[in-house]
Chain A
């Protein structure tokens, strides 16, 4: 199996899962990492059975690059919030791009920057997505195990709440603490609620989330959902904001 690991606009944090797994990966017989700039200096950019892509598409060059990778890849997997939904870069999608660009004085530097930081699925067809900011190394390991034995990867389409219950946490909402667990995709093993912090949604919304009920709960509690979103999940999930904004909050 020929594998490529690619980076677009991102922090490199999701690729670290492959570094974390390097000992195990090296022992696999049918797993050849042909392309991985972060990990090796000799790379072979030809054809890939599996391409793992970290990062969002945020410049005109990146549009061309992801299209080319798609053409060379049998299966394309987006890893992490940036690839899946734009990630932290996508905060600018809800702002005026000219204001955003004031970071640089030299206009030239930003001329190829797209107004919106895009999930890769908005540019090319994506076969699988692994959620998280960052992805969990255990989930990536499980994904690789699954494809190696030809089984479909675990589907995390259920909320963080299930993982919270499994860990025996007391529900933070019951304790009157804002938490996005009920509408957020699982996979983090209820990380934040287990350390006394409301989930801030870095794995993105889960598909069948009952957003209306969640919104009503926030209203009942007297919490401003718009503020909460602006200051929590917005950074990690363009998807989330779009989904919630549509509810006319």
Chain B
């Protein structure tokens, strides 16, 4: 394996429409977020910086970077953390799922269904429900702060465990807000079920790729599972998938080695691991009209709320088991070698690879984030929905394209207005 590019995970891009006689002929998703070269800047630094530096790839999902990264280092050093430490990491990660999903559902995705410009407008339109939405987001944030010190770029994750374990009462104090958030999420689902869901259908032959965990809906670790039934070990990632560059994009693309397009993220997890949702979550999903195999990307807003509910239920279980005095960090010795780590970031599987030398210095790094894996399918779905559309009204076409992109919760959707139409008229070439 060799050090491969780190791709852009958020920021800016354009949608290029190729037109003939004002009919869309082709679509190119153009991501031009400045490259930040994480894999290069990690080289030569000590392994301890991995949770700190890779967290800075994304302010909305730093814990995902810390979890995949630390797993990779622990693989190199052959460290196996205790069940209790693993549970605390899981709870920490649920905090990020709740927080990140709430941001996407309410701030990025919901305004599209209502024809609004922003969540700020929703706050004025429906103050009651929007305050409940903010409460859910804040609950996720609180978990992150109690375990990680702060919500963005938390500071406590280290090889073998955590620098600090919260007191029992700090962890238990999270329960009332979680319970309230559970009820609020159900109210949100009631509201969402009154909306129209446009048909943003994924192609029939798409592969759903997500992790599989035995007793849980996947989040922290596990085999990489393809909807064809293949299960891969985390070390085999590059045997089945490959990244490639296109000149118009600083984010890389990914496909399977045999050229198939795949998708990661909530819809893949939901379709592959529906059975591992809690009994309550399963019932709620069916009640609100989502079940495997779901192919409509606009329904991912429902799937995300189901994942919030599932995370809340699992969090409460873990909190009830929590006992500070049962926690202990695993000891380790620095040794040379290679290792990989993979976990489910809110937007899909995030894979890390490191080669570390006997002094603990990083020799090679390779990070494959979910957004680059979804870039191919995002572009295909845009092409499918926009080709042959007539360019009568630019802003309608832009909004439509943006809507589809936001279904994916790409980190680049951080710039909600990232699709500016760049017309390339074939007639004038």
List A residues at the B interface (Cβ < 8 Å).
7-16, 19-20, 22-23, 25-26, 33, 36-43, 58-59, 62, 87-89, 91-92, 95, 99-106, 108-110, 113, 133-134, 136, 188, 191-192, 194-197, 200, 202, 230-232, 235-236
Residues A12 and B60 in contact, CB atoms below 8 Å apart? yes
* Least Cβ–Cβ distance between B279 and chain A, in angstroms: 33
Task: Please name all residues of chain A whose beta carbon is closer than 8 Å to the beta carbon of B415 when the two chains form the complex.
Answer: 7, 37-38
Q: Evaluate contact between A11 and B57: CB separation under 8 angstroms.
A: yes
Contact residues in B for A88 (Cβ distance below 8 Å): 36, 38, 41, 53, 56
- B292 an interface residue at 8 Å Cβ cutoff? no
Q: In angstroms, how far is the closest chain A Cβ from the Cβ of B85? A: 15
Kindly state the separation between the CA atoms of A236 and B56 in the bound complex, as whole angstroms: 9
With A88-B53, A235-B53 as given contacts, are A40 and B416 in contact (CB-CB < 8 Å)?
A: yes
Q: Is B123 interfacial (CB 8 A cutoff)?
A: yes
The contact string, 1 if C-beta is below 8 Å from chain A, for chain B 186-222, is: 0000000000000000000000000000000000000
| Cα distance A59–B131 in the bound complex, in angstroms | 39
Counting CB contacts under 8 A, is B48 at the interface? yes
- Bound: A232/B155 CA distance, A: 12
Interface of chain B: mostly helix, strand, loop or mixed: loop
Instruction: Tell yes or no: B353 within 8 A of A by CB.
Output: no
Structural contact, B417 and A37, CB atoms closer than 8 A: yes
- What 19 additional pairs, Cβ within 8 angstroms, besides A9-B36, A195-B164? A12-B58, A16-B59, A16-B152, A26-B123, A37-B418, A39-B120, A41-B117, A58-B36, A103-B37, A108-B247, A113-B34, A191-B149, A191-B155, A195-B155, A195-B156, A196-B163, A200-B155, A231-B48, A235-B52
Interface size on B, residues (CB 8 A): 63
CA A42 to CA B119, docked complex, whole Å: 12
User: Are B34 and A59 touching (Cβ within 8 A)?
Assistant: yes
Assuming the contacts A23-B134, A26-B120, A110-B35, asked whether A194 and B149 have C-beta atoms less than 8 A apart, the reply is: yes
Contact A192 B149 (CB under 8 A): yes
Q: Is B95 interfacial (CB 8 A cutoff)?
A: no
Using CB atoms, name the residue of chain B closest to A94.
Answer: B41
Please indicate the chain A residues that have their CB under 8 angstroms from the CB of B277 in the complex: none
Q: How far is the CB of B158 from chain A (nearest CB, A)?
A: 8
CA distance A35 to B340 in the complex (A): 40
B150 and A191 form a contact (CB under 8 A): yes
CB distance from B386 to the nearest CB of A (A): 18
Q: Known A22-B119, A33-B120, A43-B417; judge A231-B46 contact (CB<8 A).
A: yes
Do residues B59 and A103 form an inter-chain contact, with CB atoms below 8 A?
Answer: no
B120 touching A103, Cβ below 8 Å: no
Selected from A8, A42, A101, A235, the residue in CB contact (under 8 A) with B117 is: A42
| Cβ contacts B30-62/A at 8 Å (1 or 0 each) | 000111111111000110110011001111101
- How far apart sit A101 and B151, CA to CA, in the bound complex (Å)? 31
B residues near A197, Cβ cutoff 8 Å? 155-156, 163-164
CA distance A194 to B148 in the complex (A): 11
If A38-B416, A40-B118, A231-B45 touch, whether A200 touches B52 (CB-CB below 8 Å) is yes
In the complex, which residue of chain A has the Cβ closest to the Cβ of B419? A41
When C-beta atoms are compared, the residue in chain A nearest to B121 turns out to be: A40
Please determine whether A39 and B118 come into contact, CB atoms closer than 8 angstroms. Answer: yes
Known: A106-B245, A195-B156. A22 touches B49 (CB 8 A): no
Interface segment, one of B4-12, B66-74, B297-305, B373-381: B4-12
**Given A38-B414, A88-B36, A11 contacting B58 (CB threshold 8 A):** yes
